[in-house]
A and B are shown apart, each in its own frame.
Chain A
Amino acid sequence: MKNRKRLMENAIHGIFLILGLITVGCVLLITVYLVLSGIPAIRKIGVLKFLFGKKWASTAAQPQYGILPFILTSIYGTAGSIVIGVPIGFMTAVYLSKIAPPKVKTVIETAVSLLAGIPSVVYGLVGMMVLVPGIRIAFHIPDGASLLAAIIVLAIMILPSIIKVSLTALEAVPKEYEDASLALGATPIETYFRVSVPAAKSGIAAAVVLGVGRAIGEAMAIMMVAGNAPNMPKVFQSVRFLTTAVASEMSYAADGSLQKQALFSIALVLFLFIMLINAVLNFFLKHSKE
């Protein structure tokens, strides 16, 4: 009887282990596949020529595969969206957790959840119909599809994750800390920024990580507003991101062609990028905890 029970326990443990390994397996599968299919083109083109080449012309008679414009665009675009999105998201979270009356809080929180649920193609569509012509008129430039449009769309897209994660972190700060600060004569605002925010530091940093992750990986929405010409990034220039470079040419690239292999290489670069960013941010997170 006892033996049978133990057997049952072991079997269930085994099932859980297998379920857990599915995720690990997927990650391994994707990594191995990306590396295997991404390496040949890099080898054929040459690492330096591929990473630092300034010209991408994959279907020209003399094809050129330089992805520096895509790398820089992805970096600038993500950085820009963080610069705009983090202050707004962070302040919103502070307001919601500490200052906002309950009714206002419910309304804003619902709006934030809705924003998180909007599919990225809708962001792209609205950006294309409203934001792009808006930028064209506001800045008197011939065309509004630009890095700026992409940054604005990305900033809005990362808001929900930043607000939600920082909000959770801020709400987890023990009430006693704030009470103590207030009792010592600090004003409420001083308390929020000198006591609550430092206490929630690591959670807020996690929010920024999530924001960076979402911004650098987004393809659909920015494909519709960024113009997609493989130019070196400038604020009002039409640009192509790493993600959109893969997505826009994949459907027409012939199987086995260098173009298709190069697209896999771009995906590999993007993958390594995200790994690197996660590692760096995790490093800072750990340090800030200590």
Chain B
Amino acid sequence: MKKCINSIIILALLLTVMTGCGKTDSGTVSTDGSTSMEKVIGALGEAFEENNSGVTFTYNPTGSGSGITAVAEGRCDIGLSSRNLKDEEKAQGLTETILALDGIAVIVNPDNPVNDLDLETIGKIYMGEITNWKDIGGNDLEIVLIGREAGSGTRDGFESITGTEDACKYRQELTSTGDVITTVAGNPAAIGYASLASVKETVKALSVGGIVPTEETVKDGSYVVQRPFVLVTKSSTELSATAQRFFDYITSSEANEIISSAGAVPVKN
């Protein structure tokens, strides 16, 4: 009799423990990849952790290429890439989902009469083929190239879009967006680049090929100095329940505000 009661109690205890498990999720979501997405994915991960107690979110900033490899090898749940997948990567059974778009504004001093440049000219300027503003309709001033430090996501994005990888003749390599904006604001001959969301009125954002950079022109693709933030998953294997919930959450319109405040342009309406 006593034994029976004991086992009933134990069973009851077990049941309460198990139902407890169902309520507080203790899963993990691991992401790996692009350093440019650090701010966006970090903010989303934090929000997700806050809404789901017990869930652990991890992010390993290794770079787009390593992130894609990691997800292909099953070392993480979701890979992060700040470029579209190549065809051979898709052939490996990887799927891309665009999380957001990142517009990069090309900025000059407000005193600079130049308002518009095309992508090719920007590339030539940064590679040192055009060195004076007067050649492109500005004042007779030597162009001062302002950029970001090696490894910065914005630099990587800008150089890959303008086709100037490893070829930029920077005059200054600064370590933050704020420093770039301050420097460009203080030098009438400077040109720089910064994430669209952080551009202030102390500098002038150039239109590229006649298209003014705004959230709309980034979204419809007409402003070309932009790149996608891509979530990479494996088509053959299903995500774990927690990872799937995270995926659904960050691709829903609920996450838009967080994405915008982290400086990117959300794609969901």
Interface residues on A, range: 20 to 34
Residues of B within 8 A of A142 (CB): 141-144, 171, 187, 189
A229/B170 in contact, CB under 8 A:
yes
In the complex with contacts A143-B144, A252-B152, A254-B62, A129-B182 CB distance below 8 A: yes
Asked if A61 contacts B172 (CB within 8 A), the reply is no
The answer to whether A81 has its CB under 8 Å from any CB of chain B is no
Instruction: Map CB proximity to B onto A136-150 as digits: 1 under 8 Å, 0 otherwise.
Output: 100000111100000
Q: Which chain B residues numbered 40 to 76 have a C-beta less than 8 Å away from chain A?
A: 61-63, 66
Check if A61 sits within 8 Å of B165, measured CB to CB: yes
Smallest CB separation, A223 vs chain B (Å): 7
* Interchain CB contact under 8 A, A253 and B171: no
List chain B residues, Cβ under 8 A from A254: 61-63, 66
Establish whether residues A227 and B171, one from each chain, have CB atoms under 8 Å apart when the complex forms: yes
Main secondary structure of the interface of A (DSSP, over half): loop
Given contacts A61-B166, A229-B171, contact A253 B186 (CB under 8 A): no
* B173 on the A face (CB < 8 A): yes
Q: Do B173 and A229 have beta carbons less than 8 Å apart?
A: yes
Chain A residues near B211 (CB-CB < 8 A): none
Task: Across the interface, name the chain B residue whose C-beta is closest to A61.
Answer: B166
- How many angstroms from the CA of A116 to the CA of B243 in the assembled complex? 52
Mark B101-145 against chain A: 1 for CB-CB distance below 8 A, else 0: 000000000000000000000000000000000000000011110
**B175 within 8 Å of A by Cβ?**
yes
Q: Which residues of B contact A58 (CB under 8 A)?
A: 150-151
The distance in angstroms between the C-alpha atoms of A143 and B183, with both chains bound, is 10
Residues of B within 8 A of A59 (CB): 150-151, 156, 166
* Contact A143–B187 (Cβ < 8 Å): yes
Separation in Å of the A242 CB from the closest CB of chain B?
Answer: 15
Q: Judge if B232 is at the interface, Cβ distance under 8 Å.
A: no
Q: Which residues of A contact B153 (CB under 8 A)?
A: 252
Provided the pairs A59-B151, A129-B182 are in contact, do residues A248 and B175 lie with their beta carbons within 8 angstroms? yes
CA distance A132 to B141 in the complex (A): 17
Give bound CA distance, A148 to B208, whole Å.
35
B35 at the interface (CB under 8 A from A): yes
Instruction: Give the CA-CA distance A247 to B174 in the complex, in Å.
Output: 11
Most chain B Cβ neighbours within 10 Å, of A58, A61, A136: A136
- Judge whether B174 and A228 touch: CB under 8 Å: yes
Nearest-neighbour CB distance to chain B for A94, whole angstroms, equals 38
B25 within 8 A of A: no
Q: Supply 8 further A-B pairs (C-beta < 8 A) apart from A143-B187, A254-B63.
A: A59-B150, A60-B166, A128-B183, A129-B186, A132-B186, A142-B189, A143-B171, A228-B175
- A–B complex contacts, Cβ < 8 Å, 26 sampled: A57-B150, A58-B150, A59-B151, A59-B166, A61-B166, A128-B182, A129-B186, A132-B183, A132-B186, A133-B186, A136-B187, A142-B142, A142-B171, A143-B171, A223-B175, A228-B173, A228-B174, A238-B170, A238-B171, A248-B149, A249-B151, A251-B151, A252-B61, A252-B151, A252-B153, A255-B62
Ordered nearest first, which 9 A-B pairs have the shortest CB separation?
A252-B151, A142-B142, A60-B166, A227-B172, A59-B150, A228-B173, A143-B144, A248-B149, A142-B144
